[in-house]
C-alpha cells in the first residue's frame, strides 16, 4: 500500500510543481511586458499589495504557513494534519510574489503543497499518524525532486530535514515518490537543468581554496541569518499590513532599480556568470555608466552578493511569500564567483574554473542555512550535473557546517538555546503515534448533577479512581469531584441526602479533546502537575486518561525495533 500511495502522492505533487512554475512564468512575462523598463521598480510593490490583500481576505487561515518549519511543527504537534487549502494557496501567493520580482524561492510553496497533498491523501483514506507522516515526507521529496530535477536531493532532504529518523522502511516510498514527481514534471515540461556548463577536472592542490571557501560560506550564512532576523524585527514593528507591503515594495523596488539582478529568484544571474556573460548583470543599472575596471567589477559583485540577503529579507517579511531555500543557493553562487575573481586576480597562474567555485559556494551556504549538509552535496551535484565535484562538495560542506555547529555550541553556553533538538523531536513524534482513543479509560458509573452526596460516595466505592466526573442528562461534562472534596462532608451524616453533586463539583483544571496529540496531553499533565485528566469530544465526556498509562505505552514504543513506519 505505501508503494502505491507514494506513486499517487508523487504524481500529484509533480503536477503541482508544473502549476507553480507555469504561474510564475506567465505572471513574470506579462508583468515585464506591460511595464516599461523605468517602472520595473514598482512591480514588487504591486505583487506585495496583491499578496497582502489575498492573505487577509481569502487565505487568512493559511497565511502563516511558511514551508519546512511549519511542516515539521504539524508533524510534531498536530498529528501530521495539514490544511487542504495549502495544496494550492501558496502557489497563488508565491507565484504573484516572484512573478512581480520578489526575491525569494518557490521551495516553501512546493514543500507546503507536497506536505498538504501527503497529509490529506492520508486523511481521505483514513490512515493513521505514521502513514500520514510518511506521505508528508513523500510529498516533500517529490516536490523538491520535480522543481529542481533532483530526485536524490529531494529524497535526502525529506530524510534529513522533515522526517524524524532514518529507517530502512522509509527508503522505497520516498525514492518512488521522488522519482514519480521528477518523471511527471520532465514528461510534461521537458528536460530542464538549471545550470549546465562544462567543468574541468578538479585539482587537489586547490583543496586549501575549498577549505577557505567553506569558512567564507559559514560566515556568509551567519550574515544571511542575521539579515533575515533584522528584517523580520523591523517589518513586524509596522502593524498595518498594507503599510508594511508599501514600505517593503518600495524598498525592494529601489534595490532592483539600482541592482537589476535582484529581480526574481536570481537563477538568470547565475547562468549569466556561468556562461561568461557577467556584463549582462549591469544592464539597466545606473552603475553601468561608471568606468568598466577590474576593481569596479569586484565592487559590483561584492555589492550584489551582500544585498541579495537584504532583498530576500525584505520580500519575505514585508508582504511577499516564498522561502530562503533558493536565495541561499543564489547567494552561495555569487559568493563563489566573487571568491574565484579575487583568487584569480591574486594568483593568475592557478588556472581555476569559475563554475567549480560557484557550485561549491552554493553547497557551502545552503548546507548552513537549511541545516542539511548531505542534501546540499547531492542537490548541487544534481542541479549542476557536477558529479565529478563530489569530493570538494563533501569537503566544503563539512568545513562550513562544522564551523556553524561549533559557533552555535559556543553561543549555547552563554545563551539558552531555543527550539527542539533532534532527540526531543523524535520523542514528540513517538508520543504522537499513540492514540488517545486507545488510552482512554471509560467509566460506566457517572455522577449526575442531581445525584446526592450518598450517591457520589457509592460511585467512589465502585471505582479505584480518586476522581469522578459530573455530567448532565445529555452526557456533557459539567465538573469533577475528587476524594479530597468529599472528606470535609464525610463526618456530617445529615448532609448525605441534602448536598447534591453540583454543590461538590468544581471545574477541571484542564480537559483533553479526543483528537489532541499525545505530546499535547503530556504537556498538560506536566503544566498542571496532574496524574488524571478527563477526555471529551464536543463537550461530551468519554473517560479519563492516566499519565502512568500514557508513559507505559510510550516506553513500549521506545523498545520497538522499527519505531517509525
Judgement on whether residues 109 and 222 belong to the same structural domain of the protein:
no
- The CATH number of the domain holding residue 133 is 1.10.3080.10
pLDDT at 36: 59
Residue 197 lies in a domain: no
* Among 136, 158, 189, residue at a domain's last position: 189
Residue 198 lies in a domain: no
Return the ∠ at Cα 21 (arms to 17 and 25), rounded to 5°. Answer: 170
pLDDT at 357: 92
- In angstroms, the CA 476 to CA 460 distance is 20
Q: What is the mean pLDDT of residues 416-440?
A: 65
Residue 274 lies in a domain: yes
Judgement on whether residues 396 and 425 belong to the same structural domain of the protein:
yes
Of 199-213, 317-331, 379-393, 453-467, the one with minimum mean pLDDT is: 453-467
Q: Quick: pLDDT tens for 307-353.
A: 999 999 999 999 888 888 889 999 999 999 999 999 988 887 677 78
Share of the chain above pLDDT 90, in %: 26
* 421 has a pLDDT exceeding 70: no
Judgement on whether residues 387 and 472 belong to the same structural domain of the protein:
no
* 413 has a pLDDT exceeding 60: no
Judgement on whether residues 144 and 98 belong to the same structural domain of the protein:
yes
Residue 561's pLDDT band, with cuts at 50, 70 and 90, is low
pLDDT at 53: 93
Residue 166's pLDDT band, with cuts at 50, 70 and 90, is low
Task: Tell which wins on pLDDT, 409 or 439.
Answer: 439
pLDDT at 39: 63
Judgement on whether residues 471 and 364 belong to the same structural domain of the protein:
no
Residue 419's pLDDT band, with cuts at 50, 70 and 90, is very low
pTM for the whole structure? 0.80
pLDDT at 37: 61
**What DSSP character marks residue 341?**
H
Residue 564 lies in a domain: no
Of 353-357, 373-377, 498-502, the one with minimum mean pLDDT is: 498-502
Mean pLDDT, the chain, integer: 84
Judgement on whether residues 148 and 102 belong to the same structural domain of the protein:
yes
- The CATH number of the domain holding residue 510 is 3.10.580.10
Chain centre to alpha carbon of residue 412: 23
For 210, phi then psi, to 5°, come to -65, -45
Judgement on whether residues 350 and 457 belong to the same structural domain of the protein:
no
The number of distinct structural domains making up the chain is 3
pLDDT at 482: 82
CA distances from 369 to 212, 329, 471, 542, 561 (A): 18, 10, 53, 46, 33
Residue 199 lies in a domain: no
CA distances from 25 to 10, 21, 106, 237, 312 (A): 23, 6, 12, 33, 19
Return the ∠ at Cα 46 (arms to 40 and 47), rounded to 5°. Answer: 100
Are 335 and 365 in contact by the 8 Å Cβ rule? The answer is yes
pLDDT at 395: 94
Judgement on whether residues 12 and 125 belong to the same structural domain of the protein:
yes
pLDDT at 62: 85
Any idea how long the chain is?
565
Range of the domain at 63: 2-189
- In angstroms, the CA 115 to CA 74 distance is 10
pLDDT at 396: 94
* 454 has a pLDDT exceeding 90: no
Q: Quick: pLDDT tens for 94-140.
A: 888 988 888 888 888 899 999 999 999 998 988 888 888 889 999 99
Task: Tell which wins on pLDDT, 485 or 183.
Answer: 183
Residue 441 lies in a domain: yes
* Among 389, 407, 429, residue at a domain's last position: 429
CA nearest 259: which of 298, 320, 293, 308? 308
Q: Quick: pLDDT tens for 52-77.
A: 999 999 988 888 888 888 888 888 77
* Among 147, 163, 189, residue at a domain's last position: 189
Judgement on whether residues 137 and 262 belong to the same structural domain of the protein:
no
Judgement on whether residues 183 and 208 belong to the same structural domain of the protein:
no
* 422 has a pLDDT exceeding 60: no
* 219 has a pLDDT exceeding 50: yes
pLDDT at 524: 87
Q: CA neighbours within 13 Å on the CB side: how many for 503?
A: 15
Amino acid at each position: 500500500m505505501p508503494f502505491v500511495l507514494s506513486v499517487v502522492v508523487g504524481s500529484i505533487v509533480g503536477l503541482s510543481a508544473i502549476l507553480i512554475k507555469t504561474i510564475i512564468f506567465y505572471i513574470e512575462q506579462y508583468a515585464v511586458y506591460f511595464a516599461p523598463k523605468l517602472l520595473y521598480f514598482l512591480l514588487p510593490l504591486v505583487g506585495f499589495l496583491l499578496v497582502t490583500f489575498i492573505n487577509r481576505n481569502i487565505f487568512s487561515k493559511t497565511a502563516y504557513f511558511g514551508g519546512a518549519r511549519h511542516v515539521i511543527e504539524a508533524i510534531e504537534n498536530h498529528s501530521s494534519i495539514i490544511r487542504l487549502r495549502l495544496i494550492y494557496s501558496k502557489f497563488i501567493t508565491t507565484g504573484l510574489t516572484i512573478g512581480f520580482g520578489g526575491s525569494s524561492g518557490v521551495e516553501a510553496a512546493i514543500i507546503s503543497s507536497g506536505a498538504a497533498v501527503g497529509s490529506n491523501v492520508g486523511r481521505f483514506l483514513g490512515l493513521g499518524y505514521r502513514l500520514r507522516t510518511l506521505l508528508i515526507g513523500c510529498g516533500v521529496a517529490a516536490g523538491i525532486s520535480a522543481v529542481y530535477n533532483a530526485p536524490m536531493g529531494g529524497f535526502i532532504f525529506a530524510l534529513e530535514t522533515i522526517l524524524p529518523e532514518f529507517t530502512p522502511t522509509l527508503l522505497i516510498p520516498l525514492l518512488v515518490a521522488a522519482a514519480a514527481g521528477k518523471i511527471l514534471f520532465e514528461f510534461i515540461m521537458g528536460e530542464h537543468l538549471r545550470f549546465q556548463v562544462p567543468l574541468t577536472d578538479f585539482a587537489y592542490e586547490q583543496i586549501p581554496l575549498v577549505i577557505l571557501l567553506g569558512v567564507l560560506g559559514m560566515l556568509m550564512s551567519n550574515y544571511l541569518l542575521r539579515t533575515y532576523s533584522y528584517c523580520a524585527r523591523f517589518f513586524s514593528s509596522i502593524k498595518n499590513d498594507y503599510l508594511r507591503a508599501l514600505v517593503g515594495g518600495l524598498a525592494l523596488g529601489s534595490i532592483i532599480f539600482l541592482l537589476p539582478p535582484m529581480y526574481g529568484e536570481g537563477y538568470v544571474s547565475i547562468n549569466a556568470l556561468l556562461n561568461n556573460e557577467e556584463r549582462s548583470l549591469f544592464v539597466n543599472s545606473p552603475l553601468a555608466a561608471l568606468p568598466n575596471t577590474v576593481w569596479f567589477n569586484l565592487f559590483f559583485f561584492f555589492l550584489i552578493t551582500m544585498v541579495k540577503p537584504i532583498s530576500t529579507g525584505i520580500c519575505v517579511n514585508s508582504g511577499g511569500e516564498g522561502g530562503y531555500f533558493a536565495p541561499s543557493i543564489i547567494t552561495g553562487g555569487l559568493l563563489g564567483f566573487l571568491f574565484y575573481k579575487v583568487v584569480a586576480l591574486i594568483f593568475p597562474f592557478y588556472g581555476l574554473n569559475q563554475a567549480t567555485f560557484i557550485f561549491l559556494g552554493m553547497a557551502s551556504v545552503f548546507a548552513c542555512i537549511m541545516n542539511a549538509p548531505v542534501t546540499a552535496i547531492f542537490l548541487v551535484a544534481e542541479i549542476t550535473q557536477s558529479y565529478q565535484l563530489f569530493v570538494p562538495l563533501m569537503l566544503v560542506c563539512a568545513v562550513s557546517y562544522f564551523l556553524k555547529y561549533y559557533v552555535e555550541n559556543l553561543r549555547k553556553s552563554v545563551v539558552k538555546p531555543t527550539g527542539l533538538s533532534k532527540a526531543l523531536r523524535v520523542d514528540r513524534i513517538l508520543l504522537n503515534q499513540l492514540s488517545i482513543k486507545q488510552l482512554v479509560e471509560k467509566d460506566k458509573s457517572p455522577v449526575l448533577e442531581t445525584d446526592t452526596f450518598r450517591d457520589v460516595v457509592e460511585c467512589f466505592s465502585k471505582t479505584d479512581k480518586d476522581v469522578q466526573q459530573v455530567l448532565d442528562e445529555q452526557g456533557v461534562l459539567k465538573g469533577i469531584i475528587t476524594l479530597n472534596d468529599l472528606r470535609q462532608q464525610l463526618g456530617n451524616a445529615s448532609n448525605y441526602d441534602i448536598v447534591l453533586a453540583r454543590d461538590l463539583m468544581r471545574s477541571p483544571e484542564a480537559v483533553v479533546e479526543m483528537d489532541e496529540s499525545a505530546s499535547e496531553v503530556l504537556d498538560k499533565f506536566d503544566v498542571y502537575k496532574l496524574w488524571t485528566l478527563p477526555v471529551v469530544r464536543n463537550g461530551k465526556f468519554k473517560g479519563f486518561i492516566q499519565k502512568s498509562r500514557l508513559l507505559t505505552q510510550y516506553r513500549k514504543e521506545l523498545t520497538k525495533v522499527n519505531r517509525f513506519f
